[in-house]
Amino acid sequence: MTYTHLLFDHDGVLVNTEPLYLQAIQEQLATLGIALRETDYIQNMAAGIDPWVLARAAGCDEATVDQLRYARDARYQQLLSTRPITIAGVDDLIAELAEYFQLAIVTTSRDVDFDLIHALDGQPRTSTTPDVVRHMDFILTRSQYEKSKPDPQPYLLALSRFGIEPSQALVIEDSERGLRSAVSAGIDCAAIYHPFTARQRFTEATYHFADLGELKQFLLR
């Protein structure tokens, strides 16, 4: 199969932010005496189960859950601002792929988090700030579509923006929800494994790669 366009998921694929998001959730649940294990979180995430179901089961009402979400978001942004989140070699790899393919990011990240990660306000975060966005034709964040992954809408919108058929694109994902979104949109999907999602099986993926380096070798072979 010859592809002309690559559609990248963001968190976990291009930046190592997922452990920080989990930490922010764990810290809020811990205030209720609830311990959320990483394995349970990943399993629930793949199934589309809200992590706050544990808070509700402990007797929290929706107002309290909203407060926990707000605290989670604030803590996550604090972690993004202070912890290294780059994945070694990604910037150079994306720059090389951009010479051969048109690229886009399709992410469930909120604008405020994406902008903080990439310092789009022009204020460099640190020397470790990732800079892959300059190689992208466009970026779709959560605010730009109504239905989130695993619904196909995000990737269908990306196809529409490029004006291409599903057969021309390859999606690069690291989660079952993202994989189902791509498959439902009729697009081939390459599953990328990393420690945070290594237990997921990705049985519907067209390809399986240990990392982006293997993906690049496959695409440029």
Given a cut of 80, whether residue 98 has pLDDT beyond it is yes
pLDDT at 39: 86
Beta-strand runs (E) in 92-168:
102-106, 138-140
More confident residue, 137 or 117: 137
pLDDT at 155: 98
**Distance, CA of 173 to CA of 180 (rounded, Å):** 10
pLDDT at 121: 46
- Residue 120 — very low, low, confident or very high, per pLDDT cuts 50/70/90? very low
pLDDT at 5: 98
Q: Which of 5-19, 94-108, 115-129 has the lowest mean pLDDT?
A: 115-129
Helix H or strand E segment including 141: none
Q: What's the predicted TM-score (pTM) here?
A: 0.90
Using only C-alpha atoms, the chain has a radius of gyration, in whole angstroms, of 17
pLDDT at 45: 79
Given a cut of 80, whether residue 197 has pLDDT beyond it is no
- Torsion angle, CA of 19/21/189/142, rounded to 10 degrees? -160
More confident residue, 199 or 214: 214
Residues 96, 215 contacting (CB under 8 angstroms): no
57-65 — which CB contacts under 8 Å span 24+ positions?
A: 58/32, 58/33, 58/34, 60/32
pLDDT at 123: 52
Residues 14, 132 contacting (CB under 8 angstroms): yes
Mean pLDDT, residues 49-68: 93
More confident residue, 129 or 41: 41
The domain ranges of the chain are 5-17+86-219, 19-82
pLDDT at 128: 47
Q: Quick one: which of 102, 81, 119, 85 has its CA closest to 13?
A: 85
Given a cut of 80, whether residue 103 has pLDDT beyond it is yes
What secondary structure letter does DSSP report for 168? G
pLDDT over 70, % of the chain: 94
**Distance, CA of 175 to CA of 17 (rounded, Å):** 13
Mean pLDDT, residues 139-165: 96
pLDDT over 90, % of the chain: 75
Residues 117, 105 contacting (CB under 8 angstroms): no
Mean pLDDT, residues 69-95: 93
**Distance, CA of 33 to CA of 146 (rounded, Å):** 34
> In the numeric block, which tokens belong to residue 207?
């390809």
Given a cut of 80, whether residue 195 has pLDDT beyond it is no
CATH architecture group of domain 5-17+86-219: 3-Layer(aba) Sandwich (3.40)
Given a cut of 60, whether residue 72 has pLDDT beyond it is yes
Find all residues with CB under 8 Å of 47, minimum gap 6, and list them.
none
Q: Quick one: which of 106, 119, 42 has its CA closest to 80?
A: 119
**Distance, CA of 107 to CA of 173 (rounded, Å):** 10
Q: Quick one: which of 5, 75, 61 has its CA closest to 32?
A: 61
Given a cut of 90, whether residue 108 has pLDDT beyond it is yes
